[in-house]
């Protein structure tokens, strides 16, 4: 482990290393246990030296880790689904997540749910941001979004009774927090994505979650130009290898009929490939057997594994749909 590394091995300049060792700090862990300011005064080092020490004690990767921890993941309102992403709390920010699946598998529903969940206030453990939905298909139905928003609003009220009436997340407020734009062609999509920079700066707390939705939908955009490009007998996500290497997480949604839906994680840097169940009800996405969508998920109370019979069937697809 890095933490037990002897402090002698830090590549410090001679004078600084001398001071560190003479003060009795044997390992890097010892050094890290003390706040940097205290360390500086104890070792009687100047500013430049303390910066040097900090640089070696807290390398960039750990700073990135810290930042990652500071950014709140966005819950999908389904515990099992959240667990597919490292950390178990939902879609990780700062990364691109792809959701793919056949029509009717719930991609758009997940997108709408996330648009609303990204606005859960920080006080109840949400990201407290806004969202942008880039719609290439015309599938964003405001009425449905309002339905999910109303359910979420009710849940938030139950969760946090202390908020004053003006801070309440009402349906209207949640709907207002979703920026919606409809693009018709790949050209417009490129322009839109270029404009995102400015939009995000104008809304300081925007969580552009539909990076994700955009991309799924941009699938279909590309499909339009290329026709279908899949290997016979199997359905592949569109856009090919180039896109496959762009996103960090990829999940695929399935609709097994009879209200059984499942999601399969098939690319992730942190979690092994697996399959979980979820369901879509009037209030949005939720865990199986739970009629109310959960606004803030509590991990670790349900086993969402799929039975072997369901898993087996997942990759079968008849090539007959060409005709």
Partner 1 sequence: MNLTPDEIALAYDQASAYIFETRIAYGTALDLLQEEHWLSLGDPILDTALGGSGFMTRGITEIAGESAVGKTQLCLQLCLTVQLPHCMGGLDGSAVWLSTEGKFPYGRLESMINHFVSKHKETIPGLDASEIRDNIYFDSMADQETQLHIFNYQLPILIHDSHVYEESMERESSRQGEQAEDEETLRRPKKKPVKLIIIDSITNNFRSELIASTVADQTGHQAGNSGFRSSIFQRSADICEIGLRLRTLADQYGLAVICVNQVTDVFEPEFQHLVSGSSSGSHAEASTFHSLTDPMKLKKPALGLVWENTINARVILQRTRLPEYQEEETYNENRSNEPQRTLSVIFSPWAANTTSDDPEESGYCRYRIDETGVVGVPAIQ
From the CB of 296, what's the least distance to partner 1, in Å? Answer: 22
From the CB of 81, what's the least distance to partner 1, in Å? Answer: 18
Cα–Cα distance between 128 and 6 in angstroms, integer?
A: 42
Q: Which is nearer to partner 1, 105 or 297 (CB)?
A: 105
From the CB of 201, what's the least distance to partner 1, in Å? Answer: 13
Q: Which is nearer to partner 1, 15 or 103 (CB)?
A: 103
Q: Which is nearer to partner 1, 14 or 323 (CB)?
A: 323
From the CB of 113, what's the least distance to partner 1, in Å? Answer: 12
Q: Which is nearer to partner 1, 45 or 116 (CB)?
A: 116
Q: Which is nearer to partner 1, 89 or 131 (CB)?
A: 131
> What is the rounded end-to-end Cα distance, in angstroms, of the chain?
59
From the CB of 304, what's the least distance to partner 1, in Å? Answer: 18
Q: Which is nearer to partner 1, 41 or 320 (CB)?
A: 320
Per-residue HEC secondary structure of the chain comes to: CHHHCEHHHCCCCHHHHHHHHHCCCCEHHHHHHCCHHHHHHHHCCCHHHHHHHHHHHCCHHHHHHHHHHHCCCECCCCHHHHCCCCCCCCECCCCCEEEEECCCCCHHHHHHHHHHHCCCCHHHCCCCCEEEEEECCCCCCHHHHHHHHHHHHHHHHHHCCCCCHHHCCCHHHHHHCEEEEECCCHHHHHHHHHHHHHHHHHCCCECCCHHHHHHHHHHHHHHHHHCCCCCCCCCCCCCHHHHHCCCCEEEEEEECCCCCEEEEEEECCCCCCEEEEEEEECCEEECCCCCCCCCCCCCCCCCCECCHHHHHHCCCCCHHHHC
From the CB of 194, what's the least distance to partner 1, in Å? Answer: 4
From the CB of 321, what's the least distance to partner 1, in Å? Answer: 4
Q: Which residues bind partner 1 (CB under 8 A)?
A: 101-105, 108-109, 115, 133, 137-146, 172, 175-184, 187-188, 190-192, 194-195, 220, 223-225, 227-228, 230, 235, 254-260, 280-282, 309-310, 312-314, 316-318, 320-323
Q: Which is nearer to partner 1, 301 or 309 (CB)?
A: 309
């Amino acid at each position: 482990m890095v933490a037990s590394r002897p402090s002698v091995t830090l590549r410090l300049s001679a004078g600084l290393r001398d001071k560190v060792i003479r003060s009795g700090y044997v390992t890097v862990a010892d050094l890290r246990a003390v706040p940097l300011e205290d360390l500086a005064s104890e070792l009687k080092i100047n500013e430049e030296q303390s910066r040097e020490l900090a640089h070696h004690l807290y390398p960039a990767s750990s700073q990135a880790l810290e930042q990652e921890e500071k950014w709140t993941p966005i819950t999908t309102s389904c515990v099992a689904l959240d667990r597919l992403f490292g950390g178990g709390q939902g879609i990780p920010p700062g990364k691109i997540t792809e959701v793919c699946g056949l029509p009717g598998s719930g991609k758009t529903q997940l997108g709408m749910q996330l648009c609303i969940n990204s606005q859960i206030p920080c006080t109840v453990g949400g990201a407290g941001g806004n969202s942008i939905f880039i719609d290439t298909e015309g599938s964003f139905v405001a009425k449905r979004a309002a339905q999910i928003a109303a359910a979420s609003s009710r849940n938030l009220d139950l969760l946090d009774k202390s908020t004053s009436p003006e801070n309440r997340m009402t349906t209207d407020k949640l709907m207002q927090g979703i920026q919606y734009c409809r693009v018709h062609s790949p050209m417009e999509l490129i322009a839109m994505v270029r404009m995102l920079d400015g939009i995000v700066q104008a809304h300081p707390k925007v969580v552009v979650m539909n990076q994700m939705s955009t991309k799924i939908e941009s699938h279909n955009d590309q499909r339009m130009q290329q026709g279908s490009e899949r290997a016979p007998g199997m359905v592949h996500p569109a856009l090919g290898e180039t896109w496959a290497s762009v996103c960090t997480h990829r999940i695929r949604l399935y609709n097994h009929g009879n209200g059984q839906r499942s999601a399969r994680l098939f690319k992730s840097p942190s979690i092994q490939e697996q399959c979980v169940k979820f369901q879509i009800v009037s209030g949005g996405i939720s865990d199986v057997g739970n009629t109310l969508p959960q606004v803030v998920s509590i991990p670790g109370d349900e086993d969402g594994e799929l039975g072997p019979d369901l898993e087996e069937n997942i990759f079968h697809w008849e090539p007959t749909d060409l005709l």
